[in-house]
Amino acid sequence: MAAIIYLSPGEQMPARGEDEPWLIVEASEDGRFFGSGAACNRSGEWVGYGSLPENDGALADALAAAKRWADRYSVPVIWVQTTP
């Protein structure tokens, strides 16, 4: 299960190496939350994550979708920015 780390307002997710998985959920100006990320699948190919519109409305929904993806691709940390 991925750890969830909340970033302070204005703080950025730490830089990741080219081969390190990452996942972030970010607030938008209109109150929605969008997730993005990248990781390797079991065959070693990089796969990207982009949240779906049905998961963007509330932070809880965005985090639930991000957690499922993080578990599937062994992403150790989900970074969360709650302010735009």
Question: Cα dihedral sign for 11, 20, 2, 48?
Answer: positive
Q: Where are the domains of the chain?
A: 3-9+19-81
Burial code (b: 16+ CB inside 10 Å, e: under 16) for 26-52 equals bbeeeebbbbebbbeeeeeeeeebebe
**pLDDT tens readout for residues 2-16:** 999 999 999 999 998
**pLDDT tens readout for residues 52-83:** 999 999 999 999 999 999 999 999 999 999 99
Q: Indicate the pLDDT class of residue 38, thresholds 50, 70 and 90.
A: very high
Predicted TM-score (pTM) above 0.85: yes
CA distance 55 to 21: 21
- Asked whether 61 and 55 are in contact (CB, 8 A), the reply is yes
Look at 6-10, 14-18, 24-28, 34-38 and tell me which has the smallest mean pLDDT. 14-18
